[in-house]
Structure 1
């Protein structure tokens, strides 16, 4: 799969003798990697600082993060949040609105209760099956946010993608035009390799999936995959997905094995992959068509792709 167009800037700053340098680190409970053409000194520190910035604002595992402090604030109390935090909340609210509630940032109480948060594994389903997520109010102009009773923020369905974008923006500001950046399976590719090839990446398939993997050319594009095989929890001998349907308050059971979304923004790819996972194959692809989203959904032994995804095959 290739982008619909190559930008003229793709070939700028790519000398014949340019080499790719590679770096790795840890963040957000996973590993990050960077492959960059002629990066400046201090690139590791700069990329890591961007990720640390996201953790300091949006991690539910850091007790003194802005998110954790907000979740400890009384329900109904307005709190002012930093600009980066506000950008993620605004994007999440928009995805939630367009998906008719299939995506929500206010599922923190659910993720904690089911054992996916900082509190650790759950012991029984009976005490948590009736939980329903509350809501949040957000004023983007003043960057104020407040939570309703029963609502806790959880940005795990979108913040990792935002972290990729923030680090990518830092690299671009340092005049690094050609690179591939990954955080735990969320990727963004800018420019091209020194040999003129784009950044080719293979889409991760669920275990035991019989179909062939897609190979994507990430040229000024991002890709995110949400899959039920990555995380789950076993309670009373039954395995539950880590993805919740905010409308029911329950882990999904719709046959979706994975959803991959290609988008200019890694944050949006991340958030939409989560939303389409909740919607399921038919409703998810229908919404992807409506929103011109390049998406591939693997569900119930079949592959479902949107028109925008197919357009990248031409």
Structure 2
């Protein structure tokens, strides 16, 4: 399963001198979740950038204590160490993330799976990097510890039970949830026009500083291509997953960092990048990973059946080509 994200670019045309910004703007940025964040507020009223940054840093730091795999005593890591076969109380935030993750796992037929960490580590794409191909016995052993079906959620209270000793990794959904949480916080302050970005995942609302929809750009993985694809969106979350930056080669064969939880092996299809739109950035984040695992044909079929806006970039013998779902077409027409 994909653990890193392809680039998605915010086209801040008002900063590039296209025309003066018609509304006051506040921009704040910082570090979180092993990456960076950027927030743009339009017409912020009496809000001050320094106070917003202080409060946002505090909230994101608290979120990290819940969902991080790198903080030893985070709630997620405590849950990973918790006993098997017992119900454990969890925070409402972690409960919401896990429920959404399981929903996307079910919807994608297991292409998305937050228990995939043993396979990611086995193939050398986890904290301990290496570049060798594991044997089948190692893959089988790791696969025995993978499977979202090994998790059980209480339907009435924020509790979870692990049927087996699985290890949860939320890296393919946590940044998107952090974006959503930040957006909800901004709305609670009365902000109606904003863009939030964490590690390439975005959510925007209202109008851009130009007074129209926000513009984002989907990066082309072709190093010889010029520019990005502009997309007009608002009141929407955006996430992109890609397969063209993180891999290793052994004996002339390329091994992708995108691991299919259903096979235990890196993907072999030619889908290079997928961008997903959804009102929830967390949901878009998880779906982007699922579609990256599924491949172009399966991803497009599922997106069209579920009315999900997605944009695919695939590598062919003639170069990179793009396809998109029916639900994505209106966003291109708004350019």
TM-score w.r.t. structure 1 length? 0.87
Give 1:256 deviation, angstroms.
1.3
Q: 1:117 to 1:308 in 2, by over 3 A?
A: same
Q: Name the residue aligned to 1:213.
A: 228
Corresponding residue SS for 2:38: strand
The partner residue of 1:121 within 123, 129, 153 is: 129
Q: Name the residue aligned to 1:66.
A: 75
The answer to whether structure 1 residue 203 and structure 2 residue 231 are counterparts is: no
- The separation in 2 between residues aligned to 1:251 and 1:102, in whole angstroms, is 12
CA distances 1:159-208 after superposition (whole Å, capped 9, x unpaired): 11000000111011011111111111111111113431222111122242
My pick for the range that moved more, 146-155 or 56-65, is 146-155
Give 1:295 deviation, angstroms.
0.3
CA distances 1:80-110 after superposition (whole Å, capped 9, x unpaired): 2111111111111111111111111111222
Q: Name the residue aligned to 2:39.
A: 34
Corresponding residue SS for 2:237: strand
My pick for the range that moved more, 192-201 or 27-36, is 192-201
Q: Name the residue aligned to 1:84.
A: 93
Paired residues of 1:50 and 1:163 also in contact (CA < 8 A)? no
Q: 1:66 to 1:140 in 2, by over 3 A?
A: farther
Unpaired segments of 5 or more residues in structure 1? Answer: 1-15
My pick for the range that moved more, 193-202 or 203-212, is 203-212
Unpaired segments of 5 or more residues in structure 2? Answer: 1-20
- The separation in 1 between residues aligned to 2:102 and 2:256, in whole angstroms, is 23
My pick for the range that moved more, 131-140 or 235-244, is 235-244
CA distances 1:219-259 after superposition (whole Å, capped 9, x unpaired): 11111100012433567885532222111122222111111
My pick for the range that moved more, 141-150 or 58-67, is 141-150
The partner residue of 2:202 within 169, 180, 187 is: 187
The answer to whether structure 1 residue 254 and structure 2 residue 269 are counterparts is: yes
Q: 1:263 to 1:81 in 2, by over 3 A?
A: same
The partner residue of 1:107 within 103, 107, 116 is: 116
My pick for the range that moved more, 169-178 or 211-220, is 211-220
Give 1:147 deviation, angstroms.
2.4
Paired residues of 1:56 and 1:65 also in contact (CA < 8 A)? yes
Q: Name the residue aligned to 1:20.
A: 25
Give 1:211 deviation, angstroms.
8.0
**Runs of 4 or more above 6 Å deviation:** none
The answer to whether structure 1 residue 291 and structure 2 residue 306 are counterparts is: yes
My pick for the range that moved more, 190-199 or 18-27, is 190-199
Give 1:144 deviation, angstroms.
1.7
- The separation in 2 between residues aligned to 1:104 and 1:111, in whole angstroms, is 11
Q: Name the residue aligned to 1:165.
A: 180
Corresponding residue SS for 1:312: helix
Q: 1:71 to 1:280 in 2, by over 3 A?
A: same
- The separation in 2 between residues aligned to 1:62 and 1:285, in whole angstroms, is 37
Corresponding residue SS for 1:94: helix
Cα RMSD after superposing both structures: 2.2
Paired residues of 1:115 and 1:233 also in contact (CA < 8 A)? no
TM-score w.r.t. structure 2 length? 0.82
Q: 1:260 to 1:70 in 2, by over 3 A?
A: same
The answer to whether structure 1 residue 304 and structure 2 residue 319 are counterparts is: no
Corresponding residue SS for 2:85: coil
CA distances 1:35-64 after superposition (whole Å, capped 9, x unpaired): 112441311122223322321111111111
